[in-house]
Protein backbone atom coordinates (compact mmCIF):
# COMPACT_ATOMS: atom_id res chain seq x y z
CA UNK A 1 0.00 0.00 0.00
CA UNK A 2 2.81 2.41 0.88
CA UNK A 3 4.59 1.88 -2.44
CA UNK A 4 1.42 2.51 -4.37
CA UNK A 5 0.59 5.70 -2.52
CA UNK A 6 4.17 6.92 -2.84
CA UNK A 7 3.83 6.59 -6.59
CA UNK A 8 0.61 8.59 -6.70
CA UNK A 9 1.47 11.20 -4.09
CA UNK A 10 5.13 11.65 -4.88
CA UNK A 11 4.44 13.56 -8.10
CA UNK A 12 4.35 17.10 -6.81
CA UNK A 13 2.14 19.69 -8.50
CA UNK A 14 4.55 22.36 -7.27
CA UNK A 15 6.44 21.52 -10.45
CA UNK A 16 3.55 20.85 -12.87
CA UNK A 17 5.73 20.00 -15.86
CA UNK A 18 7.71 17.39 -13.95
CA UNK A 19 4.44 16.12 -12.49
CA UNK A 20 3.12 15.54 -15.99
CA UNK A 21 6.30 13.82 -17.14
CA UNK A 22 6.36 11.58 -14.09
CA UNK A 23 2.72 10.70 -14.58
CA UNK A 24 3.36 9.62 -18.14
CA UNK A 25 6.42 7.56 -17.14
CA UNK A 26 4.84 5.80 -14.19
CA UNK A 27 3.26 2.40 -14.83
CA UNK A 28 -0.35 2.07 -13.80
CA UNK A 29 -0.86 0.21 -10.54
CA UNK A 30 -3.84 -1.84 -9.45
CA UNK A 31 -6.37 -0.27 -7.13
CA UNK A 32 -5.65 -1.68 -3.67
CA UNK A 33 -8.60 -0.41 -1.61
CA UNK A 34 -12.38 -0.66 -1.70
CA UNK A 35 -13.45 2.74 -0.46
CA UNK A 36 -12.17 6.19 0.49
CA UNK A 37 -13.62 8.22 3.33
CA UNK A 38 -12.85 11.24 5.52
CA UNK A 39 -12.11 11.30 9.24
CA UNK A 40 -10.83 13.74 11.80
CA UNK A 41 -7.08 13.97 12.32
CA UNK A 42 -4.61 16.10 14.20
CA UNK A 43 -4.46 19.39 12.34
CA UNK A 44 -7.71 18.89 10.44
CA UNK A 45 -9.15 16.06 8.39
CA UNK A 46 -7.61 13.00 6.78
CA UNK A 47 -8.60 10.85 3.84
CA UNK A 48 -8.79 7.18 4.74
CA UNK A 49 -8.54 4.17 2.45
CA UNK A 50 -10.40 1.25 3.97
CA UNK A 51 -10.10 2.99 7.34
CA UNK A 52 -6.38 3.80 7.15
CA UNK A 53 -5.22 7.43 6.64
CA UNK A 54 -3.16 8.13 3.57
CA UNK A 55 0.41 9.18 4.30
CA UNK A 56 3.26 10.92 2.53
CA UNK A 57 6.36 8.96 1.50
CA UNK A 58 7.95 9.97 4.83
CA UNK A 59 4.91 8.53 6.63
CA UNK A 60 3.24 11.78 7.65
CA UNK A 61 -0.54 11.64 7.76
CA UNK A 62 -1.97 13.83 5.00
CA UNK A 63 -4.14 16.10 7.17
CA UNK A 64 -5.89 18.98 5.42
CA UNK A 65 -7.30 22.03 7.21
CA UNK A 66 -10.96 21.86 6.09
CA UNK A 67 -13.41 19.03 5.47
CA UNK A 68 -14.52 20.12 1.95
CA UNK A 69 -10.93 19.74 0.75
CA UNK A 70 -10.63 16.31 2.34
CA UNK A 71 -13.91 15.29 0.70
CA UNK A 72 -12.62 16.44 -2.69
CA UNK A 73 -9.43 14.41 -2.25
CA UNK A 74 -11.41 11.35 -1.19
CA UNK A 75 -13.53 11.76 -4.31
CA UNK A 76 -10.38 11.47 -6.45
CA UNK A 77 -9.60 8.10 -4.84
CA UNK A 78 -13.17 6.89 -5.20
CA UNK A 79 -13.20 7.83 -8.89
CA UNK A 80 -10.26 5.55 -9.73
CA UNK A 81 -10.98 2.43 -11.72
CA UNK A 82 -9.15 -0.85 -11.60
CA UNK A 83 -5.85 1.00 -11.96
CA UNK A 84 -4.66 4.28 -10.45
CA UNK A 85 -4.09 7.23 -12.74
CA UNK A 86 -1.99 9.89 -10.92
CA UNK A 87 -2.79 12.55 -13.51
CA UNK A 88 -6.45 12.42 -12.45
CA UNK A 89 -5.52 13.01 -8.80
CA UNK A 90 -4.13 16.58 -8.70
CA UNK A 91 -5.59 17.40 -5.29
CA UNK A 92 -3.98 14.30 -3.80
CA UNK A 93 -0.63 15.28 -5.27
CA UNK A 94 -1.10 18.83 -4.04
CA UNK A 95 -1.92 17.76 -0.48
CA UNK A 96 1.04 15.42 -0.39
CA UNK A 97 3.34 18.22 -1.53
CA UNK A 98 2.11 20.62 1.14
CA UNK A 99 2.40 18.14 4.00
CA UNK A 100 5.73 16.78 2.82
CA UNK A 101 7.48 19.90 1.62
CA UNK A 102 5.70 23.17 2.39
CA UNK A 103 4.35 23.15 5.94
CA UNK A 104 7.82 23.35 7.45
CA UNK A 105 9.22 25.84 4.91
CA UNK A 106 6.48 28.11 3.65
CA UNK A 107 8.89 31.06 3.63
CA UNK A 108 11.10 29.29 1.10
CA UNK A 109 8.09 28.80 -1.17
CA UNK A 110 7.25 32.49 -0.83
CA UNK A 111 10.84 33.32 -1.76
CA UNK A 112 10.58 31.14 -4.84
CA UNK A 113 7.43 32.95 -5.96
CA UNK A 114 9.13 36.29 -5.33
CA UNK A 115 11.88 35.34 -7.80
CA UNK A 116 9.31 35.57 -10.57
CA UNK A 117 8.79 39.23 -9.69
CA UNK A 118 12.21 39.92 -11.18
CA UNK A 119 11.16 38.70 -14.63
CA UNK A 120 7.38 38.38 -14.55
CA UNK A 121 5.50 37.54 -17.75
CA UNK A 122 3.57 40.81 -17.51
CA UNK A 123 6.71 42.96 -17.80
CA UNK A 124 7.76 41.92 -21.31
CA UNK A 125 5.61 43.33 -24.10
CA UNK A 126 5.38 42.77 -27.82
CA UNK A 127 6.33 45.72 -30.03
CA UNK A 128 4.11 44.54 -32.87
CA UNK A 129 1.66 43.65 -34.35
CA UNK A 130 -0.67 46.25 -32.95
CA UNK A 131 -3.44 43.73 -32.27
CA UNK A 132 -1.17 41.71 -29.97
CA UNK A 133 0.13 44.86 -28.29
CA UNK A 134 -3.42 45.91 -27.49
CA UNK A 135 -4.44 42.47 -26.29
CA UNK A 136 -1.49 42.25 -23.91
CA UNK A 137 -2.33 45.68 -22.54
CA UNK A 138 -5.99 44.74 -22.09
CA UNK A 139 -5.17 41.55 -20.18
CA UNK A 140 -2.10 42.67 -18.25
CA UNK A 141 -2.34 46.39 -17.50
CA UNK A 142 -5.21 46.10 -14.96
CA UNK A 143 -3.08 43.72 -12.86
CA UNK A 144 -0.08 46.04 -12.99
CA UNK A 145 -2.30 49.01 -12.15
CA UNK A 146 -3.64 47.14 -9.13
CA UNK A 147 -0.11 46.23 -8.00
CA UNK A 148 0.88 49.89 -8.27
CA UNK A 149 -2.19 51.43 -6.65
CA UNK A 150 -3.00 48.82 -3.99
CA UNK A 151 0.37 47.29 -3.17
CA UNK A 152 2.66 50.23 -3.89
CA UNK A 153 4.64 48.06 -6.32
CA UNK A 154 5.82 50.11 -9.31
CA UNK A 155 7.32 47.80 -11.93
CA UNK A 156 9.21 48.62 -15.13
CA UNK A 157 7.99 47.34 -18.50
CA UNK A 158 10.17 46.36 -21.45
CA UNK A 159 9.63 45.64 -25.11
CA UNK A 160 10.86 42.28 -26.31
CA UNK A 161 12.79 39.78 -24.18
CA UNK A 162 15.74 41.88 -23.04
CA UNK A 163 15.92 41.58 -19.26
CA UNK A 164 15.12 44.68 -17.24
CA UNK A 165 15.96 44.93 -13.55
CA UNK A 166 13.04 45.66 -11.28
CA UNK A 167 13.14 48.05 -8.31
CA UNK A 168 13.79 46.18 -5.09
CA UNK A 169 11.07 48.22 -3.39
CA UNK A 170 8.51 46.98 -5.93
CA UNK A 171 9.56 43.36 -5.48
CA UNK A 172 9.41 43.63 -1.69
CA UNK A 173 6.02 45.35 -1.76
CA UNK A 174 4.53 42.61 -3.92
CA UNK A 175 6.20 39.87 -1.87
CA UNK A 176 4.61 41.29 1.28
CA UNK A 177 1.18 40.68 -0.28
CA UNK A 178 1.83 36.94 -0.68
CA UNK A 179 -0.13 34.64 1.65
CA UNK A 180 1.66 33.07 4.59
CA UNK A 181 -0.24 29.87 5.35
CA UNK A 182 1.24 26.75 3.71
CA UNK A 183 -1.83 25.66 1.75
CA UNK A 184 -2.56 29.03 0.18
CA UNK A 185 1.06 29.79 -0.60
CA UNK A 186 1.45 26.36 -2.21
CA UNK A 187 -1.58 27.04 -4.41
CA UNK A 188 -0.16 30.44 -5.33
CA UNK A 189 3.13 28.75 -6.23
CA UNK A 190 1.38 26.37 -8.61
CA UNK A 191 -0.42 29.27 -10.30
CA UNK A 192 2.86 31.16 -10.57
CA UNK A 193 4.79 28.32 -12.18
CA UNK A 194 1.97 27.38 -14.53
CA UNK A 195 1.39 30.96 -15.73
CA UNK A 196 4.92 32.33 -15.44
CA UNK A 197 3.57 35.24 -13.42
CA UNK A 198 3.65 35.89 -9.69
CA UNK A 199 1.51 38.98 -10.29
CA UNK A 200 -1.26 36.91 -11.85
CA UNK A 201 -1.08 34.56 -8.87
CA UNK A 202 -1.35 37.53 -6.50
CA UNK A 203 -4.29 38.94 -8.44
CA UNK A 204 -6.06 35.59 -8.16
CA UNK A 205 -5.36 35.20 -4.43
CA UNK A 206 -6.62 38.72 -3.71
CA UNK A 207 -9.71 38.38 -5.90
CA UNK A 208 -8.62 41.03 -8.39
CA UNK A 209 -8.90 38.53 -11.26
CA UNK A 210 -10.85 35.28 -11.46
CA UNK A 211 -9.46 31.98 -12.68
CA UNK A 212 -10.63 32.37 -16.28
CA UNK A 213 -9.16 35.85 -16.51
CA UNK A 214 -5.83 34.67 -15.12
CA UNK A 215 -5.70 31.70 -17.49
CA UNK A 216 -6.49 33.91 -20.49
CA UNK A 217 -3.90 36.49 -19.42
CA UNK A 218 -1.24 33.80 -19.12
CA UNK A 219 -1.83 32.64 -22.69
CA UNK A 220 -2.26 35.89 -24.60
CA UNK A 221 0.74 35.32 -26.86
CA UNK A 222 0.04 31.62 -27.33
CA UNK A 223 -3.58 32.27 -28.25
CA UNK A 224 -2.60 35.04 -30.65
CA UNK A 225 -0.15 32.79 -32.47
CA UNK A 226 -2.71 29.99 -32.65
CA UNK A 227 -5.20 32.39 -34.22
CA UNK A 228 -2.66 33.47 -36.82
CA UNK A 229 -0.98 30.16 -37.65
CA UNK A 230 -3.13 27.43 -36.18
CA UNK A 231 -2.77 25.42 -32.98
CA UNK A 232 0.13 23.04 -32.41
CA UNK A 233 -1.12 19.67 -31.16
CA UNK A 234 1.78 19.13 -28.76
CA UNK A 235 1.37 22.62 -27.33
CA UNK A 236 -2.34 22.03 -26.85
CA UNK A 237 -1.64 18.77 -24.99
CA UNK A 238 0.94 20.43 -22.72
CA UNK A 239 -1.49 23.25 -22.00
CA UNK A 240 -4.24 20.80 -21.06
CA UNK A 241 -1.91 19.05 -18.63
CA UNK A 242 -0.90 22.35 -17.02
CA UNK A 243 -4.54 23.32 -16.71
CA UNK A 244 -5.26 20.27 -14.56
CA UNK A 245 -2.84 21.54 -11.90
CA UNK A 246 -4.03 25.11 -12.37
CA UNK A 247 -7.64 24.14 -11.74
CA UNK A 248 -6.62 22.12 -8.69
CA UNK A 249 -4.80 25.16 -7.27
CA UNK A 250 -7.84 27.33 -7.97
CA UNK A 251 -10.06 24.81 -6.20
CA UNK A 252 -7.76 24.92 -3.18
CA UNK A 253 -7.90 28.71 -3.10
CA UNK A 254 -11.68 28.74 -3.45
CA UNK A 255 -12.11 26.29 -0.58
CA UNK A 256 -9.70 28.11 1.73
CA UNK A 257 -10.64 31.70 0.95
CA UNK A 258 -14.28 31.29 -0.05
Q: Report pLDDT digits (tens) over 55-92.
A: 988 899 999 999 999 999 999 999 999 999 988 999 99
Q: Write out the residue limits of the CATH 1.10.3580.10 domain(s) in the chain.
A: 106-257
E-assigned strands of 13-156? Answer: 29-30, 36-41, 44-49, 52-53, 63-64, 83-84, 124-125
Per-residue pLDDT at 193: 95
* Residue 203 in this model has a pLDDT that exceeds 80: yes
Q: Is the pTM of this model over 0.85?
A: yes
Across the range 176-190, mean pLDDT stands at 95
Q: Range(s) for CATH 3.30.2180.10 in the chain? A: 2-102
Residue 52: φ, ψ to 5°: -105, 130
Pick the CATH number of 106-257 from 1.10.4030.10, 3.30.1360.120, 3.40.50.720, 1.10.3580.10: 1.10.3580.10
Do β-strands 124-125 and 158-159 pair in parallel, antiparallel, or remain unpaired?
Answer: parallel
- The whole-number pLDDT of residue 258 equals 66
The region of weakest confidence among 96-105, 151-160, 212-221 is 96-105
Homologous superfamily of 2-102 = ATP12-like (3.30.2180.10)
Nearest-CA neighbor of 98 among 158, 168, 37, 44? 44
Phi and psi torsions of 90, nearest 5°: -65, -35
Amino acid sequence: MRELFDEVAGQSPLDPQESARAGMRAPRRQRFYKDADVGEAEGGFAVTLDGKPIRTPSRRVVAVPVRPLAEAIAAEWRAQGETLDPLTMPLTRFANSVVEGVIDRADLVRDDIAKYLQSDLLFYRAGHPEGLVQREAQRWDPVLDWARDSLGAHFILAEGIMHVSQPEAAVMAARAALPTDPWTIAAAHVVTTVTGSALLALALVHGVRDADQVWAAAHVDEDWNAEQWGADEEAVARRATRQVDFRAAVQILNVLTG
